[in-house]
A and B are shown apart, each in its own frame.
Chain A
Amino acid sequence: MNMRNIWFIMKRELSGYFATPVAYVFIIIFLLLTGFSTFFVGNFFERGEADLYPFFSVHPWIYVLLIPAISMRLWSEERKNGSIELLMTLPVSVFEAVLGKFLAAWAFTGIALLLNFPLWITVNYLGSPDNGVIFTGFLGSFLMAGGFLAIGACISATTKNQVIAFVLSLIVSLIFVLSGYGIVLDFFSSWAPTPLIHAISSFSFLTHFDAISKGVIDMRDILYFASVIMVWLFANAIVVNARKAD
Protein backbone atom coordinates (compact mmCIF):
# COMPACT_ATOMS: atom_id res chain seq x y z
CA MET A 1 0.00 0.00 0.00
CA ASN A 2 1.35 3.36 -1.07
CA MET A 3 0.72 5.95 1.66
CA ARG A 4 1.55 8.83 -0.69
CA ASN A 5 -1.27 7.81 -3.04
CA ILE A 6 -3.75 7.60 -0.16
CA TRP A 7 -2.68 11.05 0.97
CA PHE A 8 -3.01 12.60 -2.51
CA ILE A 9 -6.44 11.08 -3.08
CA MET A 10 -7.56 12.22 0.35
CA LYS A 11 -6.25 15.73 -0.26
CA ARG A 12 -8.01 16.00 -3.63
CA GLU A 13 -11.27 14.72 -2.22
CA LEU A 14 -11.18 16.97 0.82
CA SER A 15 -10.43 20.10 -1.18
CA GLY A 16 -13.35 19.07 -3.38
CA TYR A 17 -15.70 19.48 -0.42
CA PHE A 18 -14.66 23.05 0.09
CA ALA A 19 -14.67 23.91 -3.62
CA THR A 20 -18.46 23.78 -3.55
CA PRO A 21 -21.01 25.10 -1.03
CA VAL A 22 -21.69 21.51 0.08
CA ALA A 23 -19.17 21.66 2.91
CA TYR A 24 -20.43 24.94 4.34
CA VAL A 25 -24.08 23.96 4.10
CA PHE A 26 -23.32 20.67 5.81
CA ILE A 27 -21.33 22.24 8.62
CA ILE A 28 -23.97 24.89 9.29
CA ILE A 29 -26.80 22.37 9.39
CA PHE A 30 -24.76 20.03 11.56
CA LEU A 31 -24.01 22.80 14.07
CA LEU A 32 -27.63 23.99 14.07
CA LEU A 33 -28.90 20.46 14.69
CA THR A 34 -26.45 19.65 17.46
CA GLY A 35 -27.03 23.04 19.10
CA PHE A 36 -30.80 22.85 18.85
CA SER A 37 -31.05 19.33 20.18
CA THR A 38 -28.57 19.93 22.99
CA PHE A 39 -30.57 22.84 24.38
CA PHE A 40 -34.15 21.96 23.49
CA VAL A 41 -34.27 18.17 23.30
CA GLY A 42 -31.48 17.39 25.75
CA ASN A 43 -32.47 20.20 28.18
CA PHE A 44 -28.85 21.23 28.70
CA PHE A 45 -29.67 24.00 31.18
CA GLU A 46 -32.54 22.37 33.04
CA ARG A 47 -30.47 19.32 33.87
CA GLY A 48 -28.07 21.46 35.83
CA GLU A 49 -25.16 19.09 35.19
CA ALA A 50 -21.75 20.22 34.02
CA ASP A 51 -21.32 17.72 31.19
CA LEU A 52 -22.08 17.35 27.48
CA TYR A 53 -24.24 14.26 27.74
CA PRO A 54 -27.28 15.93 26.08
CA PHE A 55 -24.96 16.95 23.24
CA PHE A 56 -23.46 13.53 22.58
CA SER A 57 -26.64 11.52 23.09
CA VAL A 58 -28.23 12.97 19.95
CA HIS A 59 -25.19 12.33 17.73
CA PRO A 60 -26.27 8.87 16.51
CA TRP A 61 -29.56 10.30 15.23
CA ILE A 62 -27.96 13.33 13.62
CA TYR A 63 -25.39 11.10 11.94
CA VAL A 64 -28.05 8.75 10.58
CA LEU A 65 -29.56 11.74 8.81
CA LEU A 66 -26.48 13.72 7.79
CA ILE A 67 -23.63 11.27 7.17
CA PRO A 68 -25.36 9.66 4.15
CA ALA A 69 -25.43 13.16 2.65
CA ILE A 70 -21.61 13.21 2.74
CA SER A 71 -21.00 9.63 1.76
CA MET A 72 -23.52 9.44 -1.08
CA ARG A 73 -21.31 11.25 -3.55
CA LEU A 74 -18.05 9.44 -2.73
CA TRP A 75 -18.33 6.80 -5.46
CA SER A 76 -21.65 7.28 -7.24
CA GLU A 77 -20.52 10.67 -8.55
CA GLU A 78 -17.30 9.16 -9.92
CA ARG A 79 -19.27 6.40 -11.60
CA LYS A 80 -21.86 8.78 -12.98
CA ASN A 81 -19.46 11.21 -14.65
CA GLY A 82 -16.96 8.56 -15.70
CA SER A 83 -14.02 9.92 -13.70
CA ILE A 84 -13.77 6.50 -12.06
CA GLU A 85 -12.20 5.30 -15.32
CA LEU A 86 -9.54 7.95 -14.93
CA LEU A 87 -8.93 7.20 -11.25
CA MET A 88 -8.79 3.43 -11.75
CA THR A 89 -6.30 3.71 -14.65
CA LEU A 90 -3.90 5.82 -12.61
CA PRO A 91 -1.21 3.79 -10.86
CA VAL A 92 -3.18 3.41 -7.62
CA SER A 93 -4.75 0.30 -6.15
CA VAL A 94 -8.47 0.07 -5.45
CA PHE A 95 -7.90 -0.09 -1.72
CA GLU A 96 -5.71 3.03 -1.77
CA ALA A 97 -8.53 4.88 -3.51
CA VAL A 98 -11.14 3.51 -1.10
CA LEU A 99 -9.05 4.48 1.90
CA GLY A 100 -8.15 7.93 0.56
CA LYS A 101 -11.76 8.81 -0.12
CA PHE A 102 -12.96 7.45 3.21
CA LEU A 103 -10.27 9.34 5.15
CA ALA A 104 -11.22 12.57 3.38
CA ALA A 105 -14.87 12.18 4.38
CA TRP A 106 -13.84 11.21 7.91
CA ALA A 107 -11.52 14.18 8.28
CA PHE A 108 -14.31 16.44 7.05
CA THR A 109 -16.70 15.04 9.66
CA GLY A 110 -13.96 15.51 12.24
CA ILE A 111 -13.71 19.19 11.31
CA ALA A 112 -17.49 19.60 11.62
CA LEU A 113 -17.39 17.86 15.01
CA LEU A 114 -14.56 20.04 16.32
CA LEU A 115 -16.48 23.16 15.32
CA ASN A 116 -18.76 22.37 18.26
CA PHE A 117 -15.99 23.69 20.54
CA PRO A 118 -18.08 26.72 21.74
CA LEU A 119 -20.24 24.22 23.57
CA TRP A 120 -17.18 22.88 25.36
CA ILE A 121 -16.17 26.44 26.28
CA THR A 122 -19.71 27.13 27.53
CA VAL A 123 -19.84 24.14 29.82
CA ASN A 124 -16.38 24.94 31.20
CA TYR A 125 -17.46 28.54 31.79
CA LEU A 126 -20.66 27.52 33.59
CA GLY A 127 -19.23 24.76 35.73
CA SER A 128 -16.31 22.42 36.13
CA PRO A 129 -17.00 19.37 33.99
CA ASP A 130 -14.88 16.25 33.71
CA ASN A 131 -12.97 17.14 30.54
CA GLY A 132 -11.74 13.56 30.23
CA VAL A 133 -15.31 12.38 29.75
CA ILE A 134 -15.90 15.13 27.20
CA PHE A 135 -12.76 14.04 25.35
CA THR A 136 -13.88 10.42 25.18
CA GLY A 137 -17.27 11.69 24.04
CA PHE A 138 -15.66 13.40 21.09
CA LEU A 139 -13.52 10.32 20.41
CA GLY A 140 -16.54 8.01 20.52
CA SER A 141 -18.57 10.31 18.31
CA PHE A 142 -15.71 10.49 15.80
CA LEU A 143 -15.35 6.69 15.73
CA MET A 144 -19.08 6.27 15.27
CA ALA A 145 -19.07 8.79 12.41
CA GLY A 146 -16.37 6.64 10.78
CA GLY A 147 -18.65 3.62 11.03
CA PHE A 148 -21.54 5.44 9.38
CA LEU A 149 -19.23 6.80 6.68
CA ALA A 150 -17.82 3.37 5.86
CA ILE A 151 -21.37 2.03 5.45
CA GLY A 152 -22.30 4.98 3.25
CA ALA A 153 -19.12 4.77 1.15
CA CYS A 154 -19.72 1.11 0.37
CA ILE A 155 -23.37 1.71 -0.56
CA SER A 156 -22.39 4.71 -2.67
CA ALA A 157 -20.25 2.39 -4.82
CA THR A 158 -23.24 0.22 -5.65
CA THR A 159 -25.15 2.88 -7.57
CA LYS A 160 -24.65 5.81 -9.94
CA ASN A 161 -27.59 7.59 -8.39
CA GLN A 162 -26.78 9.75 -5.35
CA VAL A 163 -30.38 9.84 -4.14
CA ILE A 164 -30.55 6.04 -4.07
CA ALA A 165 -27.19 5.98 -2.27
CA PHE A 166 -28.54 8.46 0.30
CA VAL A 167 -31.75 6.57 1.02
CA LEU A 168 -30.12 3.15 1.21
CA SER A 169 -27.33 4.41 3.50
CA LEU A 170 -29.88 6.07 5.74
CA ILE A 171 -31.85 2.83 6.08
CA VAL A 172 -28.80 0.65 6.77
CA SER A 173 -27.44 3.21 9.26
CA LEU A 174 -30.81 3.29 10.98
CA ILE A 175 -30.74 -0.49 11.35
CA PHE A 176 -27.31 -0.27 12.97
CA VAL A 177 -28.60 2.28 15.46
CA LEU A 178 -32.05 0.87 16.16
CA SER A 179 -30.75 -2.59 16.99
CA GLY A 180 -29.62 -1.17 20.33
CA TYR A 181 -32.66 0.98 21.01
CA GLY A 182 -34.88 0.03 23.95
CA ILE A 183 -38.19 -0.24 22.09
CA VAL A 184 -36.71 -2.49 19.42
CA LEU A 185 -35.04 -4.74 21.98
CA ASP A 186 -38.28 -4.97 23.98
CA PHE A 187 -39.96 -6.26 20.87
CA PHE A 188 -37.43 -9.10 20.68
CA SER A 189 -37.18 -9.81 24.42
CA SER A 190 -40.76 -11.12 24.59
CA TRP A 191 -39.92 -14.20 22.54
CA ALA A 192 -36.26 -14.37 21.51
CA PRO A 193 -33.62 -16.12 23.65
CA THR A 194 -31.37 -13.84 25.67
CA PRO A 195 -28.12 -14.62 23.75
CA LEU A 196 -29.80 -13.48 20.53
CA ILE A 197 -30.91 -10.22 22.11
CA HIS A 198 -27.37 -9.66 23.34
CA ALA A 199 -26.07 -10.37 19.87
CA ILE A 200 -28.50 -7.88 18.31
CA SER A 201 -27.73 -5.15 20.81
CA SER A 202 -23.99 -5.74 20.58
CA PHE A 203 -24.21 -4.97 16.89
CA SER A 204 -25.64 -1.57 17.58
CA PHE A 205 -23.64 1.65 17.34
CA LEU A 206 -25.70 2.95 20.29
CA THR A 207 -24.51 0.32 22.76
CA HIS A 208 -20.84 0.92 22.02
CA PHE A 209 -21.12 4.68 21.69
CA ASP A 210 -23.00 5.06 24.98
CA ALA A 211 -20.19 3.41 26.90
CA ILE A 212 -17.45 5.55 25.34
CA SER A 213 -19.41 8.80 25.63
CA LYS A 214 -19.86 8.19 29.36
CA GLY A 215 -16.10 8.13 29.76
CA VAL A 216 -15.58 4.37 29.78
CA ILE A 217 -12.90 3.47 27.28
CA ASP A 218 -13.21 -0.23 26.68
CA MET A 219 -10.91 -1.68 24.05
CA ARG A 220 -13.81 -3.82 22.84
CA ASP A 221 -15.87 -0.75 21.92
CA ILE A 222 -12.99 0.78 20.03
CA LEU A 223 -12.25 -2.52 18.32
CA TYR A 224 -15.91 -2.78 17.43
CA PHE A 225 -15.91 0.50 15.51
CA ALA A 226 -12.52 -0.23 13.97
CA SER A 227 -13.72 -3.58 12.67
CA VAL A 228 -17.03 -2.15 11.41
CA ILE A 229 -15.03 0.41 9.43
CA MET A 230 -12.59 -2.16 8.06
CA VAL A 231 -15.29 -4.67 7.06
CA TRP A 232 -17.35 -2.04 5.22
CA LEU A 233 -14.28 -0.58 3.51
CA PHE A 234 -13.20 -4.02 2.42
CA ALA A 235 -16.68 -4.58 0.98
CA ASN A 236 -16.39 -1.14 -0.60
CA ALA A 237 -13.23 -2.19 -2.48
CA ILE A 238 -14.91 -5.37 -3.69
CA VAL A 239 -17.96 -3.45 -4.92
CA VAL A 240 -15.80 -0.84 -6.69
CA ASN A 241 -13.86 -3.58 -8.44
CA ALA A 242 -16.99 -5.36 -9.55
CA ARG A 243 -19.07 -2.36 -10.59
CA LYS A 244 -16.53 0.24 -11.77
CA ALA A 245 -17.08 -0.37 -15.48
CA ASP A 246 -20.86 -0.79 -15.44
Chain B
Amino acid sequence: MTLRIEIEDLAKHFGEIKAVDGVSFSVNKGEVLGFLGPNGAGKSTTMKMITGFLAPTRGTVRVCGHDVLTDPIAVKASLGYLPEGAPAYADMTPDGFLRFIADIRGLSGADKKRAVASAAERAQIKTVMFQPIETLSKGYKRRVGLAQAILHNPPVLILDEPTDGLDPNQKHEVRTLINEMALDKAIIISTHILEEVNAMCTRNVVIANGLIQFDGTPNQLEAMSDYHNAVCVSVANIDGDTLASFLNNLNFIVRVEPLSLERGFRVYPADGRQITVELSQAIRTNGWQIDSLYAENGRLDEVFRTITTGTTGSLRSSI
Protein backbone atom coordinates (compact mmCIF):
# COMPACT_ATOMS: atom_id res chain seq x y z
CA MET B 1 0.00 0.00 0.00
CA THR B 2 1.39 3.38 -0.98
CA LEU B 3 0.02 6.41 0.73
CA ARG B 4 -0.97 8.97 -1.90
CA ILE B 5 -3.18 11.50 -0.11
CA GLU B 6 -2.80 12.46 3.53
CA ILE B 7 -5.16 14.96 5.11
CA GLU B 8 -4.83 16.06 8.71
CA ASP B 9 -7.21 18.26 10.64
CA LEU B 10 -8.15 20.20 7.53
CA ALA B 11 -10.44 23.16 8.10
CA LYS B 12 -11.82 26.07 6.11
CA HIS B 13 -13.79 28.85 7.74
CA PHE B 14 -15.51 31.60 5.79
CA GLY B 15 -15.95 34.15 8.54
CA GLU B 16 -18.40 32.60 10.98
CA ILE B 17 -19.25 29.73 8.66
CA LYS B 18 -17.23 26.58 9.25
CA ALA B 19 -17.46 24.96 5.82
CA VAL B 20 -14.94 22.28 6.79
CA ASP B 21 -13.98 21.93 10.41
CA GLY B 22 -11.21 19.44 11.09
CA VAL B 23 -11.25 16.61 8.56
CA SER B 24 -8.62 13.86 8.55
CA PHE B 25 -8.31 10.88 6.26
CA SER B 26 -5.86 9.31 3.86
CA VAL B 27 -6.14 7.52 0.55
CA ASN B 28 -3.88 4.73 -0.71
CA LYS B 29 -2.99 3.68 -4.20
CA GLY B 30 -5.72 1.36 -5.49
CA GLU B 31 -8.45 2.97 -3.43
CA VAL B 32 -11.50 4.74 -4.83
CA LEU B 33 -12.83 6.92 -2.07
CA GLY B 34 -16.46 7.97 -2.43
CA PHE B 35 -17.00 11.32 -0.82
CA LEU B 36 -20.63 11.53 0.22
CA GLY B 37 -22.64 14.25 1.83
CA PRO B 38 -25.58 16.57 1.31
CA ASN B 39 -25.19 19.76 -0.71
CA GLY B 40 -23.16 22.30 1.20
CA ALA B 41 -21.60 19.67 3.45
CA GLY B 42 -18.06 20.70 2.56
CA LYS B 43 -17.22 18.14 -0.13
CA SER B 44 -16.22 20.63 -2.81
CA THR B 45 -14.45 22.87 -0.32
CA THR B 46 -12.34 19.92 0.84
CA MET B 47 -11.50 19.01 -2.75
CA LYS B 48 -10.55 22.61 -3.51
CA MET B 49 -8.13 22.54 -0.60
CA ILE B 50 -6.58 19.23 -1.67
CA THR B 51 -5.97 20.58 -5.17
CA GLY B 52 -4.44 23.80 -3.86
CA PHE B 53 -7.17 26.08 -5.16
CA LEU B 54 -8.29 27.17 -1.70
CA ALA B 55 -5.91 27.86 1.14
CA PRO B 56 -7.00 26.00 4.30
CA THR B 57 -7.70 27.87 7.53
CA ARG B 58 -5.73 25.16 9.32
CA GLY B 59 -4.48 21.64 8.77
CA THR B 60 -2.25 19.97 6.21
CA VAL B 61 -2.67 18.25 2.87
CA ARG B 62 0.03 16.06 1.35
CA VAL B 63 -0.27 14.57 -2.12
CA CYS B 64 2.38 12.02 -3.10
CA GLY B 65 4.48 13.35 -0.24
CA HIS B 66 4.31 17.00 -1.31
CA ASP B 67 2.77 19.55 1.03
CA VAL B 68 0.20 21.68 -0.75
CA LEU B 69 1.25 24.81 1.15
CA THR B 70 5.00 24.60 0.64
CA ASP B 71 5.10 22.90 -2.77
CA PRO B 72 1.80 23.61 -4.55
CA ILE B 73 3.23 23.14 -8.05
CA ALA B 74 4.43 19.60 -7.28
CA VAL B 75 1.01 18.76 -5.83
CA LYS B 76 -0.77 20.15 -8.87
CA ALA B 77 1.57 18.29 -11.21
CA SER B 78 0.79 14.95 -9.57
CA LEU B 79 -2.97 15.18 -9.67
CA GLY B 80 -5.77 15.38 -12.19
CA TYR B 81 -8.76 17.43 -11.12
CA LEU B 82 -12.28 17.71 -12.44
CA PRO B 83 -13.76 20.79 -10.71
CA GLU B 84 -17.45 21.04 -9.90
CA GLY B 85 -19.40 21.83 -13.06
CA ALA B 86 -16.47 20.82 -15.30
CA PRO B 87 -15.38 24.34 -16.32
CA ALA B 88 -13.46 24.67 -19.58
CA TYR B 89 -12.66 27.37 -22.12
CA ALA B 90 -15.97 27.64 -23.96
CA ASP B 91 -14.62 29.09 -27.21
CA MET B 92 -12.01 26.36 -27.67
CA THR B 93 -12.58 22.96 -29.25
CA PRO B 94 -11.93 19.86 -27.10
CA ASP B 95 -8.91 19.22 -29.34
CA GLY B 96 -7.39 22.66 -28.75
CA PHE B 97 -8.30 22.54 -25.08
CA LEU B 98 -6.68 19.14 -24.49
CA ARG B 99 -3.57 20.16 -26.40
CA PHE B 100 -3.28 23.26 -24.19
CA ILE B 101 -3.57 21.08 -21.09
CA ALA B 102 -0.94 18.72 -22.51
CA ASP B 103 1.42 21.67 -23.10
CA ILE B 104 1.00 22.88 -19.52
CA ARG B 105 1.45 19.32 -18.26
CA GLY B 106 4.84 19.29 -19.97
CA LEU B 107 3.95 16.86 -22.75
CA SER B 108 5.24 17.48 -26.26
CA GLY B 109 5.68 15.83 -29.63
CA ALA B 110 4.54 12.22 -29.91
CA ASP B 111 3.80 11.95 -26.18
CA LYS B 112 1.41 14.87 -26.41
CA LYS B 113 -0.34 13.42 -29.45
CA ARG B 114 -0.68 10.04 -27.77
CA ALA B 115 -1.93 11.52 -24.48
CA VAL B 116 -4.59 13.65 -26.19
CA ALA B 117 -5.77 10.74 -28.37
CA SER B 118 -5.90 8.32 -25.47
CA ALA B 119 -7.76 10.73 -23.15
CA ALA B 120 -10.27 11.51 -25.91
CA GLU B 121 -10.72 7.80 -26.54
CA ARG B 122 -11.22 6.91 -22.89
CA ALA B 123 -13.58 9.79 -22.17
CA GLN B 124 -15.40 9.01 -25.46
CA ILE B 125 -15.34 12.48 -26.94
CA LYS B 126 -13.63 11.60 -30.22
CA THR B 127 -16.70 12.52 -32.28
CA VAL B 128 -16.83 16.10 -30.96
CA MET B 129 -13.13 16.95 -30.93
CA PHE B 130 -13.48 19.84 -33.38
CA GLN B 131 -16.68 21.49 -32.19
CA PRO B 132 -16.49 24.51 -29.87
CA ILE B 133 -17.00 23.36 -26.27
CA GLU B 134 -19.79 25.89 -25.75
CA THR B 135 -21.92 24.06 -28.34
CA LEU B 136 -21.60 20.67 -26.62
CA SER B 137 -24.25 19.04 -24.44
CA LYS B 138 -23.83 18.86 -20.69
CA GLY B 139 -22.75 15.23 -20.85
CA TYR B 140 -20.03 15.93 -23.41
CA LYS B 141 -18.78 18.95 -21.48
CA ARG B 142 -18.46 16.79 -18.38
CA ARG B 143 -16.46 14.20 -20.33
CA VAL B 144 -14.20 16.88 -21.82
CA GLY B 145 -13.45 17.84 -18.21
CA LEU B 146 -12.80 14.20 -17.40
CA ALA B 147 -10.46 13.83 -20.39
CA GLN B 148 -8.57 16.89 -19.17
CA ALA B 149 -8.18 15.36 -15.71
CA ILE B 150 -6.84 11.97 -16.88
CA LEU B 151 -4.74 13.33 -19.76
CA HIS B 152 -1.34 13.09 -18.09
CA ASN B 153 -2.07 9.76 -16.37
CA PRO B 154 -1.68 11.25 -12.89
CA PRO B 155 -1.15 9.09 -9.78
CA VAL B 156 -3.99 10.93 -8.02
CA LEU B 157 -7.42 11.85 -9.36
CA ILE B 158 -9.87 14.23 -7.69
CA LEU B 159 -13.25 14.17 -9.43
CA ASP B 160 -16.05 16.43 -8.23
CA GLU B 161 -19.32 14.81 -9.34
CA PRO B 162 -17.97 13.15 -12.48
CA THR B 163 -21.31 11.60 -13.48
CA ASP B 164 -23.51 14.65 -12.92
CA GLY B 165 -25.57 15.39 -16.02
CA LEU B 166 -24.78 12.10 -17.76
CA ASP B 167 -27.44 9.71 -19.03
CA PRO B 168 -27.52 6.14 -17.62
CA ASN B 169 -25.33 4.75 -20.43
CA GLN B 170 -22.73 7.47 -20.05
CA LYS B 171 -22.77 7.00 -16.28
CA HIS B 172 -22.06 3.33 -16.78
CA GLU B 173 -19.15 4.13 -19.12
CA VAL B 174 -17.63 6.62 -16.72
CA ARG B 175 -17.91 4.13 -13.86
CA THR B 176 -16.23 1.47 -15.97
CA LEU B 177 -13.46 3.93 -16.83
CA ILE B 178 -12.92 4.79 -13.18
CA ASN B 179 -12.85 1.11 -12.21
CA GLU B 180 -10.22 0.49 -14.90
CA MET B 181 -8.04 3.29 -13.62
CA ALA B 182 -8.49 2.41 -9.96
CA LEU B 183 -5.69 -0.16 -9.77
CA ASP B 184 -2.71 2.15 -10.04
CA LYS B 185 -4.21 5.41 -8.82
CA ALA B 186 -5.65 6.95 -5.70
CA ILE B 187 -9.04 8.42 -6.59
CA ILE B 188 -11.45 10.65 -4.70
CA ILE B 189 -14.93 11.00 -6.14
CA SER B 190 -17.65 13.20 -4.73
CA THR B 191 -21.21 12.27 -5.43
CA HIS B 192 -24.65 12.33 -3.99
CA ILE B 193 -25.82 9.45 -6.15
CA LEU B 194 -25.87 6.59 -3.67
CA GLU B 195 -25.90 3.77 -6.19
CA GLU B 196 -22.41 4.86 -7.23
CA VAL B 197 -21.11 3.88 -3.85
CA ASN B 198 -21.39 0.20 -4.74
CA ALA B 199 -20.61 0.70 -8.42
CA MET B 200 -17.25 2.43 -7.98
CA CYS B 201 -16.00 2.92 -4.48
CA THR B 202 -13.82 0.77 -2.28
CA ARG B 203 -14.33 3.12 0.62
CA ASN B 204 -16.71 5.86 1.70
CA VAL B 205 -16.33 8.99 3.70
CA VAL B 206 -19.57 10.70 4.63
CA ILE B 207 -19.27 14.35 5.50
CA ALA B 208 -21.92 16.64 6.96
CA ASN B 209 -21.69 20.02 8.60
CA GLY B 210 -17.97 20.13 7.85
CA LEU B 211 -17.19 16.96 9.83
CA ILE B 212 -16.59 13.33 8.91
CA GLN B 213 -19.61 11.31 10.04
CA PHE B 214 -18.56 7.95 8.63
CA ASP B 215 -15.41 6.38 7.22
CA GLY B 216 -15.58 2.77 6.08
CA THR B 217 -16.34 0.34 3.27
CA PRO B 218 -19.61 0.38 1.29
CA ASN B 219 -20.60 -2.87 3.06
CA GLN B 220 -20.07 -1.30 6.46
CA LEU B 221 -22.18 1.62 5.34
CA GLU B 222 -24.96 -0.70 4.25
CA ALA B 223 -24.71 -2.65 7.49
CA MET B 224 -25.78 0.45 9.36
CA SER B 225 -29.17 0.25 7.77
CA ASP B 226 -32.08 -1.15 9.79
CA TYR B 227 -32.93 -3.12 6.69
CA HIS B 228 -29.53 -4.75 6.53
CA ASN B 229 -30.07 -8.54 6.27
CA ALA B 230 -33.78 -8.14 6.84
CA VAL B 231 -35.67 -10.90 5.02
CA CYS B 232 -38.91 -10.64 3.10
CA VAL B 233 -40.84 -13.88 3.17
CA SER B 234 -44.20 -15.10 1.99
CA VAL B 235 -45.66 -18.59 2.27
CA ALA B 236 -48.23 -20.07 -0.10
CA ASN B 237 -50.34 -22.53 1.86
CA ILE B 238 -50.90 -20.82 5.19
CA ASP B 239 -52.85 -17.76 6.33
CA GLY B 240 -51.14 -14.55 7.42
CA ASP B 241 -51.91 -14.64 11.13
CA THR B 242 -50.52 -18.14 11.62
CA LEU B 243 -47.33 -17.21 9.77
CA ALA B 244 -46.94 -13.99 11.76
CA SER B 245 -47.21 -15.71 15.11
CA PHE B 246 -44.85 -18.44 13.95
CA LEU B 247 -42.26 -15.89 12.85
CA ASN B 248 -42.66 -13.93 16.08
CA ASN B 249 -41.78 -17.03 18.06
CA LEU B 250 -38.49 -17.69 16.27
CA ASN B 251 -35.61 -16.72 18.56
CA PHE B 252 -33.40 -15.20 15.83
CA ILE B 253 -36.06 -12.70 14.80
CA VAL B 254 -36.65 -9.47 16.70
CA ARG B 255 -39.41 -7.87 14.71
CA VAL B 256 -42.03 -8.84 12.15
CA GLU B 257 -43.90 -6.39 9.98
CA PRO B 258 -46.34 -6.98 7.12
CA LEU B 259 -45.23 -5.90 3.65
CA SER B 260 -47.26 -3.03 2.34
CA LEU B 261 -47.38 -3.81 -1.37
CA GLU B 262 -47.42 -7.58 -1.48
CA ARG B 263 -48.39 -10.57 0.59
CA GLY B 264 -45.93 -11.63 3.27
CA PHE B 265 -43.76 -10.18 6.01
CA ARG B 266 -40.44 -8.47 6.52
CA VAL B 267 -38.52 -9.89 9.47
CA TYR B 268 -35.52 -8.32 11.16
CA PRO B 269 -32.67 -10.53 12.42
CA ALA B 270 -31.71 -10.49 16.07
CA ASP B 271 -28.13 -9.23 15.76
CA GLY B 272 -27.95 -8.10 12.15
CA ARG B 273 -26.65 -11.48 10.93
CA GLN B 274 -27.77 -13.39 7.86
CA ILE B 275 -30.82 -15.55 8.60
CA THR B 276 -32.06 -16.71 5.21
CA VAL B 277 -30.91 -20.32 5.63
CA GLU B 278 -32.20 -20.70 9.18
CA LEU B 279 -35.51 -19.12 8.25
CA SER B 280 -36.16 -21.27 5.21
CA GLN B 281 -35.32 -24.42 7.15
CA ALA B 282 -37.67 -23.43 9.96
CA ILE B 283 -40.51 -22.83 7.53
CA ARG B 284 -39.89 -26.09 5.68
CA THR B 285 -39.90 -28.19 8.85
CA ASN B 286 -43.56 -27.15 9.26
CA GLY B 287 -44.26 -28.52 5.81
CA TRP B 288 -45.14 -25.08 4.42
CA GLN B 289 -44.30 -23.99 0.92
CA ILE B 290 -42.16 -20.90 0.49
CA ASP B 291 -43.51 -18.52 -2.11
CA SER B 292 -40.65 -16.09 -1.98
CA LEU B 293 -37.77 -15.38 0.38
CA TYR B 294 -35.06 -12.80 -0.11
CA ALA B 295 -32.66 -10.77 2.00
CA GLU B 296 -32.32 -7.00 1.73
CA ASN B 297 -28.93 -5.31 1.42
CA GLY B 298 -29.64 -2.31 3.50
CA ARG B 299 -30.91 0.96 2.22
CA LEU B 300 -28.23 3.54 1.64
CA ASP B 301 -30.61 6.45 1.34
CA GLU B 302 -31.93 5.73 4.79
CA VAL B 303 -28.41 5.37 6.24
CA PHE B 304 -27.39 8.54 4.45
CA ARG B 305 -30.30 10.44 5.94
CA THR B 306 -29.61 9.14 9.44
CA ILE B 307 -25.92 10.01 9.27
CA THR B 308 -26.10 13.40 7.64
CA THR B 309 -29.03 14.79 9.60
CA GLY B 310 -27.09 13.93 12.72
CA THR B 311 -29.92 12.15 14.50
CA THR B 312 -27.61 9.45 15.77
CA GLY B 313 -24.46 11.49 16.14
CA SER B 314 -21.13 10.28 14.87
CA LEU B 315 -21.14 6.73 13.59
CA ARG B 316 -17.55 6.37 12.55
CA SER B 317 -16.76 2.71 12.14
CA SER B 318 -13.33 1.21 12.34
CA ILE B 319 -11.63 0.04 9.18
Interface residues of A in 1-46 (CB under 8 A from B): 4-5, 8-9, 11-12, 15-16, 19-20
Q: Which of A20, A82, A90 contacts B87 (CB 8 A)?
A: A82
Given known contacts A15-B96, A90-B101, A85 and B83 CB-to-CB distance under 8 angstroms: yes
Interface membership of A81, Cβ < 8 A:
yes
Task: Tell me if B110 is interfacial: C-beta within 8 Å of chain A.
Answer: no
The interface stretch among B47-55, B114-122, B181-189, B232-240 is B47-55
Task: Report how far A51 CA is from B211 CA in the complex, Å.
Answer: 71
Secondary structure class of chain B's binding surface, majority of residues: loop
The yes or no answer to A86 lying at the interface (CB within 8 A) is yes
A88 at the A/B interface (Cβ < 8 Å)?
A: yes
Contacts of A85 in B (CB 8 A): 48, 53, 83, 87
Q: Determine which of A8, A82, A89, A245 lies in contact with B100 in the assembled complex, contact meaning CB atoms within 8 Å.
A: A8
- Please report whether the interface of chain A is mostly helix, strand, loop or mixed according to DSSP: helix
- In the complex, chain B residues whose CB is within 8 Å of the CB of A86: 81, 83, 87-88, 148
Q: Given known contacts A8-B100, A82-B87, A86-B148, is B48 in contact with A245 (CB within 8 Å)? A: yes
A-chain residues with CB within 8 Å of residue B77 when the two chains form the complex: 91
Per the 8 Å Cβ criterion, residues 58-111 of A in contact with B are: 81-83, 85-86, 88-93
Task: Give the CA-CA distance A5 to B73 in the complex, in Å.
Answer: 12
Instruction: Please report which residues of chain B, range 91-121, place their CB below 8 angstroms from some CB of chain A when the two chains form the complex.
Output: 91-92, 96, 100-101, 103-106
Tally chain B residues at the interface, Cβ within 8 Å. 28
Per the 8 Å Cβ criterion, residues 55-95 of B in contact with A are: 73-74, 76-77, 81, 83-85, 87-92
Give Cα A23–Cα B2 distance, bound, in whole angstroms: 50
Q: Once the chains bind, are B88 and A83 in contact (CB under 8 Å)?
A: yes
A83 touches B103 (CB 8 A): no
B90: chain A residues within 8 A (beta carbon): 81
Question: A19–B87 contact, CB under 8 A?
Answer: no
- In the bound complex, do residue B100 and residue A16 qualify as a contact, i.e. CB atoms below 8 Å apart? no
Most chain A beta-carbon neighbours within 10 Å: one of B52, B85, B91: B91
- 26 A-B pairs, CB-CB below 8 angstroms? A4-B103, A8-B103, A12-B89, A12-B92, A12-B100, A15-B96, A19-B92, A19-B132, A20-B91, A81-B87, A82-B83, A82-B87, A83-B89, A85-B53, A85-B83, A86-B87, A86-B88, A89-B51, A90-B76, A90-B105, A91-B104, A91-B105, A92-B73, A92-B76, A93-B73, A245-B48
